[in-house]
Structure 1
Amino acid sequence: MNSHKRLLKLIFLLPFLLWALIPGSLFAKTKDKVIVAYVTSWTSVIPDPAYVTHINYAFGHVNKTFDGIRVDNEARLRDVILLKKKHPHLKVLLSIGGWGSGGFSEMAADPERRGQFAADCLRVVELFGLDGIDIDWEYPTSNAAGISYAAEDTDNFTLLMKDIRTAIGVEKLLTLATAANGKYIAFASINPFVDFVNIMTYDSGNPPFHHASLFRSDKSGGVTCEEAIAAHVAAGMPIEKLVLGLPFYGRGNKTDVKTFIDYRDILQLEGLERKWDDVAKADYMVNKGGDFVLTFETPESIRLKCEYLLQRNMKGAMYWEYAGDTNDGILRKTVFEGVFGK
């Protein structure tokens, strides 16, 4: 009887003993980590909340009068929000902006419009039952996306984030998506207002260069993941607030492979050979002539990035976008296991 009691006591204490005996345990490394999935208005797949902590619904936009928000496909947004009923851990945010989405410069430059826009953020949060707002202004002071811009955009962006935080309160989330190079935004100034930052560590190159390599090699594009993190930290954003972006798509050379191709479609490609850059920790494909024609992410490269972000004490991982994965979720399951363990 005493032996039986001792065995039960040992079984009860085992998790606590493991916690104490294993340095840098998974429990400690993954506390408060996030996995953010962008889910788009133009796709139909319903995301599986078992593998994400946050969904950023893409997109809302600055309206034509520069004082409020227009939401794409509201019915789709409501379907996504319904997931919260059975999955109370799930946070759903409206991502406002995206490539080619303008009106930010005009709105943020005018205190009255900026205040009205911030108030509309609160209205939208309450109307849909959202957990917060994600701002994806690509990019303050730049016309790269073909939208309006001004030299004052960076300062006005800070004022905008302050106004949104004041409007929605401290209980709701306020996040943003940023360029990998860490430019355009005064990170030290916005730090008090934001919960975390999703770095778009992809689209940094086209074949024959990687678009999302972890480290720099002679095949890396403009900015590597390591360089992007360093740029954000140097600009004043604490590393524990940084979320590493992962692409669920590849970029082709247009001739052999189309410019943008989802991972699910990459697996169906024929006549190409997969290669591994062990310096950059990145996959790519070559054609029969040996030419680098496709840069893309794989479960192998994702695992290494997850290991890296945990080692650096980053906030977590983000990916664009959910529908690019396979039906059985090869990539999203890899991200989940990489951040939280099996």
Structure 2
Amino acid sequence: MRQVKTILFLLGILFLNNSCQPKVNQPMQEKVVVAYVTSWTSVMPDPAYITHINYAFGHVTETFDGVRIDNEERLHRIVALKEEAPHLKVLLSVGGWGSGRFSEMAAEEALRKSFANDCQRVVKEFGLDGIDIDWEYPTSTLAEISASPDDTENFTLLMRDIREAIGTHKLLTLASAASAQFIDFRAIDPYMDFINIMAYDMGSAPIHHAPLYRSQYAGGNTAHEAVEKHREAGVSYHKLVLGMPFYGRGGQGGFPRGMKYHDIERIEGYERRWDDEAQAPYLADSAGAFVCGYENPRSIAVKAQYIHDKGLLGGMYWEYADDNEAGDLRRAVYNGVIGRPSGAPVK
């Protein structure tokens, strides 16, 4: 009888140990708010309105076998926020528009594994919670970086190798094009915690660059369509994080091509209008012409409702420093995503 009790006790311990092991593919129960914080700005983010920070950027080294970090001192200061906010997760985002050498690195096993091991070194050395990969984009030379038809397959191998290097207790995420192109999402799914959809830069004035739905001012894509394209590509809703811009895109009638929200808020001489179909604001000139599409607290609240209704994991934005001093946009994201917004159901 004593032997039976001993066996049952040991089995119980084994069950508890196994049940407590982190598993990559377990759905995250709580919503996330992911803020990109850049190396070239000085404003310190308020962790009260963020669950995750993606520090931008790290890059593939010139020798194709490691990670180089922009402004390491600032990254240390960002990580130090965890001392006052233990809930905060900080990841290094490797890549960004025009950041290359991914194709060469991912193509060779030795270089790829060396890069993955250096990701683990960086995570340990800086006290990070994971790695975010922002390769824009596998197989594409649009950003004037090297590319190969084999990039998509090699991207999968890269995700596998990074996961193996950093372990299952650290986060592995990526920034994905709104089109859901370039990546084999079904193949990488076992290695990924979640996917940040860059549901912005989908057009320039005279059309919106981040509309939720279609309207006469929407171009080739919308945030809703971007979500559905990722779902069709094999990503579960609960692994999708919807990206939102803290800046506008103009370029018409002498209006600047890009403008941060804190500047849009103060600009004079333009009419602020609301596109009820797209659920997005825009600026119009004195002739009524669309000159800049952007995001405001109202459109963010609508997107937060969408996140809840669709069962998405949360919201992401680029970038923290583009908000106004009062933090209207970041508060709208946090309150909408982490809180309990109410409104009309998703179309």
* In 2: Cα distance, 1:254 partner to 1:215 partner: 22
- Decide whether the 8 Å contact of 2:246 with 2:329 is kept in 1: yes
Question: 2:10 is matched with which residue?
Answer: none
Task: Check conservation: 2:206, 2:250, Cα contact below 8 A.
Answer: no
Alpha carbons 2:53, 2:91 under 8 Å: kept: yes
Which residue identity lines up with residue 172 of structure 1 in the other structure? K
Distance across 2 between alignment mates of 1:35 and 1:329: 14
- In the alignment, the residues of structure 2 paired with residue 221 and residue 86 of structure 1 have an alpha-carbon distance, to the nearest angstrom, of 43
1:102-117 alignment runs, 5 A limit: 102-117=100-115
Amino acid at match of 2:181: K
Moved more, 252-261 or 168-177: 252-261
| Cα distance between partner residues in 1 of 2:33 and 2:102 | 27
Following TM superposition, by how much is the alpha carbon of 1:259 offset from its aligned partner in structure 2, in angstroms?
1.1
Deviation at 1:31, TM superposition (A): 4.3
2:95 corresponds in structure 1 to 97
Find the partner of 2:157 among 156, 159, 164: 159
- Which residue of structure 2 aligns with residue 140 of structure 1? 138
1:115 aligned partner, one-letter code: K
Q: Given residue 77 of structure 2, which amino acid in structure 1 is its aligned partner?
A: D
How far off its partner does 1:256 sit? 3.3
* Moved beyond 6 Å, runs of 4+: none
Shift of residue 255, structure 1, vs aligned partner:
4.1
Quick check: 1:252–1:261 contact (8 Å CA) kept in 2? yes
Give me the whole-angstrom Cα distance separating, in 2, the residues matched to 1:340 and 1:309.
10
Aligned to 2:78: 80
Residue of structure 2 in register with 1:236 after alignment: 234
Task: Give CA deviations for 1:100-150 in whole Å, capped at 9, x if unaligned.
Answer: 000000000000000000000000000100000000000000001110000
Q: Aligned partners of 2:235, 2:45: CA distance in 1, in Å?
A: 30
**CA separation in 2, counterparts of 1:140 and 1:116?**
19
Secondary structure (helix, strand or coil) at the match of 1:280 reads coil
In the alignment, structure 2 segments of 5+ residues that lack a partner are 1-27, 341-347
Instruction: Give TM-score scaled by structure 2 length.
Output: 0.89
Instruction: Quote the residue 1:221 is aligned against.
Output: 219
Identity of aligned residues (%): 58
Secondary structure in 1 aligned to 2:53?
strand
SS in 2 for 1:112: helix
Q: Which blocks of at least 5 consecutive residues in structure 1 are unaligned?
A: 1-29
Q: Post-superposition shift, 1:257?
A: 2.2
1:221: Cα distance to partner?
Answer: 2.2
CA RMSD, aligned part only? Answer: 1.0
Which residue does 1:177 correspond to in 2?
A: 175
What's 1:250 paired with?
A: 248
> What secondary structure does 2:259 align onto?
strand
Alignment of 1:338 with 2:333, yes or no, is: no
Is the 8 Å Cα contact of residues 250 and 257 (structure 2) preserved in structure 1? yes
The total of aligned residue pairs comes to 313
Amino acid in the other structure paired with 1:144: L
Aligned-partner Cα distance in 1 for 2:210–2:219: 8
Contact 2:176 2:195 in 1 (8 A): yes
Structure 2 Cα separation of the partners of residues 225 and 51 of structure 1: 23
CA distance in 1, matches of 2:185, 2:73: 34
1:69 to 64, 67, 70: 67
Q: Is the 8 A contact 2:60 2:95 kept in 1?
A: yes
